[in-house]
Structure 1
Amino acid sequence: MPFASAESIRVLGAREHNLRNVSIEIPKNKITVFTGVSGSGKSSIVFDTIAVESQRQLQATFPAFVQNFLPRYERPHAEAIENLTAPVIIDQKAVGGGPRSTVGTMTDIYALIRALFARFGSPSTGLVYDYSFNTPQGMCPDCDGLGVAITADPNKLVDRAKSLNEGAILLPGYNVGSGDWQMYANSGRFDADKKLADYDDAEWHNLLHGSGGKVELSFARGTWKANYEGLVDKFTRTRLKRDTSGLSEKTREQIQRFLTEGVCPSCRGARLNPKALATKLGGRTIADWTRLQITDLIEVLGEIEDPAALGLADATRIALQRVADIGLGYLSLDRATSTLSGGEGQRLKMIKHLGSTLVGMTYIFDEPSVGLHPRDVGRLNRMLAALRDKGNTVLVVEHDPDVIQIADHIVDVGPRAGAHGGEVVFTGSFAELKQSDTLTGAGLRRTFRVKETFRTATGTLTVANAKAHNLKDVTVDIPTGILTAITGVAGSGKSSLIRDEFLARYPESVFVDQSAIAASSRSTPATYLGLMDPIRKLFAKATGEPASLFSFNSDGACPECGGRGVIITEIAYMDPVTTHCESCDGRRFSDRVLALTLRGKSIADVLELSAEAAVEFFPERALNAKLRTMNEVGLDYLSLGQAMSTLSGGERQRIKLATQLQNTGTVYVLDEPTTGLHMSDVDTLLTLMDNLVERGNTVVVIEHNLDVVAHTDWVIDLGPDGGKNGGEIVFTGTPAQLLADQVSLTGEYLRRYKSAA
């Protein structure tokens, strides 16, 4: 191996997932990029072996009391993992933090701004916590610092196309003839046969918010008089202004259907109470500061002249500049972290560590270029280099050639995916990788082409006067029957145009993103695609046994591990001990079930098949068609029984797409489908999208990948930049026309990419 073990992280005999006894040395204080096709084993080396063992050993140094509150990590399957340093893992998992978490609180910049207002604002309370929306002394009393109000939506409570006698009130329990319905139909205030759409303003207000007077209600046991109360007021009093914790989940879901979330009318979304909002600095309130785009807030801080405030103002400005330097200057500090994309969240996590003075750490990144326009990849590379130059080891799992190029050392994993991967097929420099015979090497050498012939649109879907977020009253036609790319730098308005405006106007569209799939912890590709029921029936027919016997969630489960394949033993103040179930050999089923076969394979054997192998095993038309969809979307390497919770965002997106492939005449909207895709897999994706279009569908793809952009029939580019400097349509036309456009940043990088190829 090329590196002395004392100066490198050393892994011997790694066998996690599909790894085939991998041994490798990774240089310290360098940038090492791990490449390879999806499912080749990159993450198994970096995250499931190195990162897990680093975390496990670090936590072992803490007192037992502290360990009890930390996540538990099992020892990876490897002979030895040596010379590890403390890890900092920056992945694409949702930032989370709940409704109170914002860009400002996540980066700790809001704490600096609170200190500025407490010490130098006027009139100031002098207390930092008075400006926090997470403390009783600072939060708005009406929304508890959330900035939003949950209210009943009149348009969801009633169907205005109907009369009261026709069942216009949609709330459960308000069916025609019921006591609650009589409150309005028998009140004498309305014509019960008059459609609600024909009510005048006075009648509409009376129905929703009226009060006073008695209404006689008739029941089987007699009559009684009740005070009249408007529909919205009654619903709010009986449902929203009470403790709902005792209600069933079903009832809470029913209530949720009739609610809408809007800006808190008291604080107007500022989250703070009037006392905090009365303080001003530079003529602005603290809410005004946090609403500003970060690049604008940097300028505001530069205007502070008070010598006493300069030190704190400079520290705040430097922290904000770090956010801008990584390409997120279009964000505002009041932006909820729950609304951030995976890439935005990952880059914000980086901000915290750039200001750290710790050295000798191992920083581990999971595709940090996700969501980045080619213009912004250079900024990312500078940040990675800055972490290394401070004296840290940087490990990056990545597909983007521009990121791979800055590596000091590259590890290519393959040669292919799943059972055909799990080996280190190359180590060395970028120049050496480009000349190698691996799939990554071939991908780096391939010629970049911009399509020259284009399909003709069959029509248009118009989005008129779009104003969501930073969109500036945009009107655009999205062509049907062809493949369209929506492009632009991060924050330019792509998602606002498609997610918020287009999908609201055309809700019948099939939207496929990378969000988590709502499924149980035991869900697998086989269960998600609806394969398990027909598979169990085939086993039942072949063996004469009941179908339920072939489920590890039911009668067929191994009695020792309950169908989990492992036995978990909890020990107080220690990591839980997970042991391989000897009874079923980790295969989840009882011995009786494992002895029953279909065409020579047990149910466990079938679940261990890859999608590629399963297509050959199941000739049955319905099963075979569904299995082929997994292969079509590039998931041929996934086993049918793999836990859905282990899938990456890109894999989740592609398996969702697999359930929709048989449609025709449909509008598909794909949100960055190249996420997690190797260069060689992009061709599979392009073929898939072409096939969808050829079957009569419309495909709209939000994408940064220039190979995809160059392959489309039409491009809609937003910009010219992000945030307040974006929100406009800067180009519409074919990729060939985009090459010649001098305004579009996407066009500029398309030209660069073409000339470099």
Structure 2
Amino acid sequence: MSSRGEAAGLIRVVDACTNNLRHVDVDVPKKTLTVVTGVSGSGKSSLVIDTIAAEAQRIVNESYSTFVRSRLPQLPAPEVQSMSGLTFTALIDQRRFTGNSRSTVATASDVAPFLRLVFSRIGEPSAGYSPAYSFNDPTGMCPACEGLGTVVDIDVEELIDPERSIDEGPVRFSQFRPGVYRWKRFAYCGLFDRKKPLKDYTPEEMDLFLYADQLKLPDPDPRFPKTARFDGVVTRMRDVYVKNHPTSISASVREELDRLTTRRVCPECHGARLNAAARASLVDGRSIVDWSAMSVRELRDLVGGMDDARVAPALAGIRRTLDALLSVGLGYLSLDRESSTLSGGEAQRVKIVRHLGSALTDATYVFDEPSTGLHPADVQRLNGLLLQLRDAGNTVLVVEHHPQVIGVADHVIDMGPGAGAAGGLVQLEGSVDDLLASDTLTGRLLARPLDVTETVRAATGSVRVENARLHNLTGFDVDVPLGVLTAVTGVAGSGKSSFATGELPRQQRDFVVVGQDPLRGGVRSTSLSILGIADEVRAAFAAVSDLAPAWFSFNSKGACPACRGKGYITTELAFLDDVATPCDVCGGKRFNPRALAARVAGHTIADVLVLRAGEIAEAFDGHPAIVGAMGWLERVGLGYMPVGQSLDTLSGGEKQRLLLARHLAASPDLARERIVLDEPTTGLHPGDVDRINALFADLVDAGATLVVVDHNLRVVARADHVVDIGPGAGSDGGRLVFAGTPRELMGCAESLTGRALAIASRRNR
């Protein structure tokens, strides 16, 4: 083949230096499934996402008109000498859906239009055309909640202090404090005695004070605006803060509103979101609300038996989408679930479903760890989807750690050898067999059969969970041993988390859950602040300068005045995702020049935020609290992560391991710890999993009790005790399938986990 022909069949990257890449040259064969492996922080994402996908997207964006380009993300060119062979590229990552409560699994997977079409054609009585069945359209939405299913209102008891008079400030909201504009509106309206406590108001006076609506005043104070009418406090708050959702209010005011408002199910539609006409339209006795409330699996069974020529194409579309959702292990989801509540892994799989029906060919699909959150039994179905995309004539690029996904690759690129500055090199390019025969860390670990523990630790006691019935759990009893490592397993949606993070800590209060719940702070918080050592870092900078510690916070005096410490400027684009561009003034460093002038161990405060745990410990070696926290960060497997990385960019597993580091750093006695962890190995290379297994072993040997919810067979194999829940997901799960040792689990015929563990322990290629 000529060099031109070779280039036409390759995506060629020459001298890539993005992030930690060290002058990488690599060829990715087109129309194949290529998996990029390596330890966390080795440069996989830098190569695939920040170089290949970013450059392809940047080139596509440049093809649009200036008007359109000005409204698209302004992507910087990756640090690379040259690239060729790029095609249109779709990035399917693990970012959660940014849509608000108007976005559901049905709308995100594009099955909603088919549902509406079916009911508009054969629903009785008909509510009208398809929009009449949409909660996002005025003709179909519930008028009370405007299609949201919930209503937000003012908590009057929290808002009003009845012991106070108007002059004393009876409204517990800073925007109505004495002297400000909104206080003057009711102070000068002439309707109330300003010195009388609200508890002494007549019912009529209190109703006016709270709920008056555009009332024409008979005798207002001269200081009341001449052309204005009077609104009660609650009426005013509803108009300004509840109905209009202002975006320019401060964080402190938003916190006040969170305290003063309550969200409840809409009393008119009872959460259905649709108006009465849409709710009353039925197909075989069920409304579109009933269809949407079913799990994907239940709805697939229902539409599988339907045959109506009037809506045959729509039914075929529904079945096709539901089959795809089932194939990625999401059969337990209901279509009316808000998409923003999905985990990163669930969101990514919904995005995969959207791309499966695409008519595009010769495109490049980039996936960032698509196996996250999947049981080994579900990974095989995921592999089928990846191969389906490849066989449609596309190039599929996958960043992945999972052995099953790596096993079906046509081509493998292994990055390493280490993380951060120790990574960024291509260790191997070739087939899966080449990888297994290599001496790379990934190759050695994958070639070795899984070592299932033979000798388990003896429990120091046990606690009992009785009649476990949370969510889909069926009311079983089970003993959880103390002083050992217990793995809780089962397919996605089987009830693992319901048991371990719900029933167990509810019945046994000594257990602390370190889960994947969202951390408060987002872009404004970093691992330094979560670990509680940000103040000590700032104090160290203050000690070598004439500035107060606040100058070394991008949330305070040290913030860049242009971006206010964010490092970027955000442009809101209405119904599209917001666009963020690096701040031109600080260059993304977040701090102002005065703060950047001070140095500790040769580093500015902005430099510190891009350092990793080991580098921080070295720079602040005279500060035991900082060194200790960085040690725990290393031990939980986050040593590759810059300490200034914003929380909203971390995966669920990374956030959980960060919380674990914080919990352990603050623990007065590790021997007394009883900790529940929910999938802590998310995003970890097998080598990193072995490292966190060593941490678990050290904690248990010190006397702690660990209960770990995880799909990763490397964790299950090293556990002392396994509680397997299933056998399936949703209504097919929730039963106690097995409780015992990992060795005994492999002999349980009903356990999908047991089967997978048995296969992995025999694997030796």
TM-score range, shorter-chain basis? Answer: 0.7 to 0.9
Whole-Å separation in 2 of the counterparts to 1:221 and 1:612: 60
User: 8 Å contact 1:217–1:225 — kept in the other structure?
Assistant: no
Q: 1:130 to 1:468 in 2, by over 3 A?
A: farther
Name the residue aligned to 1:670: 677
- Structure 2 counterpart of 1:728, from 722, 735, 743: 735
- Structure 1 counterpart of 2:108, from 106, 111, 125: 106
Name the residue aligned to 2:411: 409
Name the residue aligned to 2:357: 355
Whole-Å separation in 1 of the counterparts to 2:205 and 2:467: 39
Name the residue aligned to 1:713: 720
Q: 1:730 to 1:257 in 2, by over 3 A?
A: farther
| Pair 1:226 & 2:221 matched | no
Name the residue aligned to 1:697: 704
Aligned residue identity for 2:271? G
Structure 2, gaps ≥5 residues long: 167-191, 213-231, 243-248, 573-578
Whole-Å separation in 2 of the counterparts to 1:311 and 1:221: 67
TM-score, L = length of structure 1:
0.82
Whole-Å separation in 1 of the counterparts to 2:713 and 2:564: 48
- Structure 1 counterpart of 2:754, from 740, 744, 747: 747
Aligned residue pair count: 699
Q: 1:621 to 1:271 in 2, by over 3 A?
A: same
User: 8 Å contact 2:727–2:752 — kept in the other structure?
Assistant: yes
TM-score, L = length of structure 2:
0.82
Whole-Å separation in 2 of the counterparts to 1:270 and 1:222: 38
Whole-Å separation in 1 of the counterparts to 2:719 and 2:515: 19
Whole-Å separation in 1 of the counterparts to 2:689 and 2:346: 23
Whole-Å separation in 2 of the counterparts to 1:297 and 1:281: 13
Moved more, 216-225 or 732-741: 216-225
User: 8 Å contact 2:34–2:397 — kept in the other structure?
Assistant: yes
Q: 1:127 to 1:637 in 2, by over 3 A?
A: closer
Name the residue aligned to 2:379: 377
User: 8 Å contact 1:584–1:591 — kept in the other structure?
Assistant: no
Name the residue aligned to 1:471: 473
Q: 1:259 to 1:220 in 2, by over 3 A?
A: closer
SS state at 1:454 partner: coil
Cα deviation 1:191-224 (Å, max 9, x = unaligned): xxxxxxxxxxxxxxxxxxxxxxxxx999679995
- Structure 1 counterpart of 2:51, from 49, 52, 60: 49
Name the residue aligned to 1:213: none
Identity %: 44
SS state at 1:424 partner: strand
Whole-Å separation in 1 of the counterparts to 2:52 and 2:609: 28
User: 8 Å contact 1:152–1:235 — kept in the other structure?
Assistant: no
User: 8 Å contact 2:165–2:197 — kept in the other structure?
Assistant: no
Aligned residue identity for 2:742? P
TM-fit CA distance, 1:592: 9.6
Name the residue aligned to 1:6: 8
Whole-Å separation in 2 of the counterparts to 1:523 and 1:653: 15
Name the residue aligned to 1:119: 121
Whole-Å separation in 2 of the counterparts to 1:688 and 1:240: 56
SS state at 1:635 partner: coil
Aligned residue identity for 2:305? E
SS state at 2:453 partner: coil
Whole-Å separation in 1 of the counterparts to 2:521 and 2:113: 38
Name the residue aligned to 1:487: 489
TM-fit CA distance, 1:555: 6.8
> Counterparts in 2 of 1:330-341, with a 5 A limit?
330-341=332-343
User: 8 Å contact 1:217–1:224 — kept in the other structure?
Assistant: no
SS state at 2:203 partner: strand
RMSD: 3.9
TM-fit CA distance, 1:462: 4.6
> Counterparts in 2 of 1:209-608, with a 5 A limit?
225-227=201-203, 239=234, 242-243=237-238, 245-246=240-241, 250=252, 253-254=255-256, 256-257=258-259, 261-503=263-505, 509-514=511-516, 517-519=519-521, 521=523, 523-541=525-543, 590=593, 598=600
- Structure 2 counterpart of 1:655, from 655, 658, 669: 658
TM-fit CA distance, 1:463: 4.3
Name the residue aligned to 1:685: 692
Whole-Å separation in 2 of the counterparts to 1:266 and 1:37: 53
Whole-Å separation in 2 of the counterparts to 1:694 and 1:362: 48
Aligned residue identity for 2:137? T
Whole-Å separation in 2 of the counterparts to 1:452 and 1:2: 56
Name the residue aligned to 1:163: none
Whole-Å separation in 2 of the counterparts to 1:89 and 1:619: 44
Name the residue aligned to 1:193: none
SS state at 2:664 partner: coil
SS state at 1:25 partner: strand
SS state at 1:332 partner: coil
Q: 1:118 to 1:537 in 2, by over 3 A?
A: closer
| Pair 1:737 & 2:744 matched | yes
Cα deviation 1:547-592 (Å, max 9, x = unaligned): 566667777789999988999999xxxx9986998x9997967599
SS state at 2:19 partner: coil
TM-fit CA distance, 1:752: 1.5
Structure 1, gaps ≥5 residues long: 158-169, 181-215
Name the residue aligned to 1:161: none
Whole-Å separation in 2 of the counterparts to 1:577 and 1:337: 26
User: 8 Å contact 2:501–2:676 — kept in the other structure?
Assistant: no
TM-fit CA distance, 1:497: 2.7
Cα deviation 1:29-50 (Å, max 9, x = unaligned): 1111000000000000111111
Q: 1:565 to 1:123 in 2, by over 3 A?
A: closer
User: 8 Å contact 2:165–2:198 — kept in the other structure?
Assistant: no
SS state at 2:367 partner: strand
| Pair 1:625 & 2:628 matched | yes
Whole-Å separation in 2 of the counterparts to 1:719 and 1:626: 38
Q: 1:330 to 1:592 in 2, by over 3 A?
A: closer
Cα deviation 1:293-346 (Å, max 9, x = unaligned): 222322322332333333332232222222222222222222221222221111
TM-fit CA distance, 1:150: 5.0
Name the residue aligned to 1:74: 76
Name the residue aligned to 2:245: none
Whole-Å separation in 1 of the counterparts to 2:631 and 2:198: 65
SS state at 1:749 partner: helix
Whole-Å separation in 2 of the counterparts to 1:229 and 1:496: 49
